[in-house]
């Protein structure tokens, strides 16, 4: 069986129809990971005991001839920011290098309830802060399309594992673009659901009002099936919404005739790589050919999105990360003479440079005297950015933009220039600030063979329409990439 060709559906069908067993699939994927992941670095921890236990459960169901749950036997990978009982969870940080959580994140238990098999935990930027995966305290991830380049971040391991064929599907988290941007760089599909659609219980917090858990897959259908398993109200996360979860699979194959695509002109102007804008325009053209109407729109507050995001995200991070103090979780560096000395030593040794930079920035914008000038002002601009989307969505069904201004950059290229790194998030942060759903799908390749991503954004809780458009575009582009 060619593991590279497996999809969510075909993995389940192969187990259901006894062409293979879940245990044999797990064996096959671990062999592949052991042979190939050294060159990519997508995994931080393999959860073999857990994977084989789940595989045995699925095989027993198949032996009984029972119908299998929707993700039965599907080998998946989990970004290492979601807690997993009895399997270490590091958030890519030294401060949690040996941390084993006593409970599972809701998304993890939902995937297992749906029959998925968790192969392991994937590498990421420390506490999900980054756009290149170079901020992992352990090792960087390399882009499977060109190993001298980054896979994107912060969910770089989860995207690279799909592109390298070392998992069929995976989970990531998107706070400012961390699902969509690595999906674009690695040539896979990455879906950020609406804020409140998927539980954050057990997600190690970066910026609580912006963190969105979501899936990666090889296809739009795979991403839809993963979303189906994890979406919906969770009594353990009071910010999840009690909005009915539709059958996403039914959207796959529905036409978009007569529906409207908004294209924000300012997203195709300054600073964007010509190959990227050409490929995205080509994808838009395919949707026009499929019967959609293209409507020029404007999102006028976009130029303020990056500073707004980096004020709000760092403010929330500085508060969330206060819990790592050498007492409650993970690392304690020496005892120190006083309690505050112990805190200082632990945080100094445990956090990397980017995390420290953000704690300082966040503490500053929240401090007395600066709170109104920075934090409060950023919250006001956030409302304006959300209003831009509300006004646009009064006229169109979805909005299409490039996912990133350039294809994957080289390892080290932006590592010493945090501002250049932050600017790479220009097309993704706006949707996080507004809390709307978005997907990145492959829409072409640069002349160097690097994947290019097209972003489709939708209305709150309307992942269904996003998936419908994404599937039509994917289908139309098939064979042309």
Q: Which is nearer to ligand GLN, 343 or 427 (CB)?
A: 427
Cα-based distances in Å from 256 to 192, 342, 470 = 21, 59, 10
3-state DSSP assignment of residue 173: strand
CB of 132 to ligand GLN, least distance (A): 8
* Gap between the Cα atoms of 60 and 22, Å rounded: 10
Specify burial of residue 132 (Cβ count, 10 A radius: 0-12, 13-18, 19+). buried
| Residue numbers annotated as active site | 79, 154, 178
Cβ-contact 107, 213 below 8 angstroms: yes
Both tokens of 211, joined, read 């963190």
Q: Provide the β-strand partners of residue 144.
A: none
Cβ-contact 405, 424 below 8 angstroms: yes
The residue whose two tokens read 């303020």 is 304
Q: Which is nearer to ligand GLN, 154 or 158 (CB)?
A: 154
CB atoms within 10 A of CB 56: 14
Residue 403 neighbours by CB under 8 Å, 6+ apart: 177, 180, 181, 183, 184, 427, 428, 440, 453, 454, 455
CB of 151 to ligand GLN, least distance (A): 13
3-state DSSP assignment of residue 269: coil
CB of 351 to ligand GLN, least distance (A): 15
Cβ-contact 268, 277 below 8 angstroms: yes
Cβ-contact 351, 95 below 8 angstroms: yes
* Gap between the Cα atoms of 166 and 469, Å rounded: 28
Cα-based distances in Å from 177 to 256, 289, 371, 404, 419 = 26, 29, 25, 9, 16
Q: Which is nearer to ligand GLN, 179 or 396 (CB)?
A: 179
Cβ-contact 365, 312 below 8 angstroms: no
The residue whose two tokens read 């699979």 is 249
Q: Which is nearer to ligand GLN, 325 or 425 (CB)?
A: 425
Query: Residue 283 belongs to what H/E stretch?
Result: helix 274-289
Cβ-contact 415, 424 below 8 angstroms: no
Q: Which is nearer to ligand GLN, 83 or 131 (CB)?
A: 131
* Gap between the Cα atoms of 4 and 10, Å rounded: 11
CB of 405 to ligand GLN, least distance (A): 13
Q: Which is nearer to ligand GLN, 23 or 175 (CB)?
A: 175
Q: Which is nearer to ligand GLN, 158 or 175 (CB)?
A: 175
Nearest to 72 by CA among 111, 29, 33, 31: 111
Q: Which is nearer to ligand GLN, 128 or 279 (CB)?
A: 128
- In the complex, which residues of this chain contact ligand GLN (CB under 6 A)? 128-131, 154, 174-178, 206, 313, 425
Main-chain dihedrals φ then ψ at residue 234, nearest 5 degrees: -130, 120
Main-chain dihedrals φ then ψ at residue 165, nearest 5 degrees: 75, 25
CB of 371 to ligand GLN, least distance (A): 21
CB of 425 to ligand GLN, least distance (A): 5
Q: Which is nearer to ligand GLN, 303 or 334 (CB)?
A: 303
CB of 460 to ligand GLN, least distance (A): 19
CB of 423 to ligand GLN, least distance (A): 10
The CA R_g of the chain, rounded to the nearest whole Å, is 21
CB of 292 to ligand GLN, least distance (A): 29
Q: Which is nearer to ligand GLN, 178 or 346 (CB)?
A: 178
CB of 431 to ligand GLN, least distance (A): 11
Nearest to 78 by CA among 33, 130, 124: 124
Length of the chain: 481
């Amino acid at each position: 069986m060619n593991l590279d060709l497996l999809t969510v559906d075909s993995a389940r069908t192969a187990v259901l129809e006894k062409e293979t067993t879940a245990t044999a699939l797990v064996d096959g994927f671990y062999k592949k990971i052991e042979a190939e992941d050294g060159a990519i670095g997508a995994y931080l921890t393999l959860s073999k005991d857990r994977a084989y236990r789940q595989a045995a459960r699925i095989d027993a169901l198949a032996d009984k001839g029972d119908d299998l749950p929707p993700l039965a036997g599907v080998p998946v990978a989990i970004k290492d920011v979601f807690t997993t009982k009895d399997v270490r969870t590091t958030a890519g940080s030294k401060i949690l290098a040996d941390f084993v959580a006593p409970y599972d994140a809701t998304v993890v238990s939902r995937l297992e309830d749906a029959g998925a098999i968790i192969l392991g935990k994937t590498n990421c930027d420390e506490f999900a802060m980054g756009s290149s995966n170079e901020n992992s305290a352990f090792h960087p991830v390399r882009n499977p399309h060109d190993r001298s380049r980054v896979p994107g971040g912060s969910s770089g391991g989860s995207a690279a594992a799909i592109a390298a064929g070392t998992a069929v599907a995976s989970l990531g988290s998107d706070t400012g673009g961390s699902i969509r941007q690595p999906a674009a760089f690695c040539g896979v599909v990455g879906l950020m659901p609406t804020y409140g659609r998927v539980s954050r219980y057990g997600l190690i917090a970066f910026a609580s009002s912006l963190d969105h858990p979501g899936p990666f897959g090889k296809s739009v259908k795979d991403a839809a099936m993963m979303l189906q398993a994890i979406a919906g109200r969770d009594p353990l996360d009071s910010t999840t919404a009690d909005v009915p979860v539709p059958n996403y699979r039914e959207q796959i194959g529905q036409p978009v005739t007569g529906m409207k695509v908004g294209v924000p002109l300012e997203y195709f102007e300054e600073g964007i790589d010509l190959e990227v804008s050409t490929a995205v325009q080509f994808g838009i053209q395919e949707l026009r050919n499929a019967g959609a109407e293209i409507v020029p729109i404007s999102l006028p507050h976009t130029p303020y999105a990056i500073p707004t995001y980096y004020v709000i995200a760092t403010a929330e991070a500085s508060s969330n990360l206060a819990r790592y103090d050498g007492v409650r979780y993970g690392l304690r560096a020496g005892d120190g003479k006083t309690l505050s000395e112990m805190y200082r030593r632990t945080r100094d040794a445990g956090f990397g440079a980017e995390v420290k930079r953000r704690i300082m920035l966040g503490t500053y914008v929240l401090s007395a005297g600066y709170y109104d000038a920075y934090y409060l002002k950023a919250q006001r601009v956030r409302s304006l950015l959300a209003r831009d989307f509300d006004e646009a969505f009064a006229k169109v069904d979805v909005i299409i933009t490039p996912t990133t201004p350039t294809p994957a950059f080289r390892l080290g290229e932006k590592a010493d220039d945090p501002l250049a790194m932050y600017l790479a998030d220009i097309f993704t942060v706006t949707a996080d600030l507004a809390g709307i759903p978005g997907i990145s799908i492959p829409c072409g390749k640069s002349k160097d063979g690097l994947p290019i991503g097209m972003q489709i954004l939708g209305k709150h809780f309307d992942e269904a329409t996003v998936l419908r458009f994404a599937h039509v575009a994917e289908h139309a582009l098939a064979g042309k990439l």
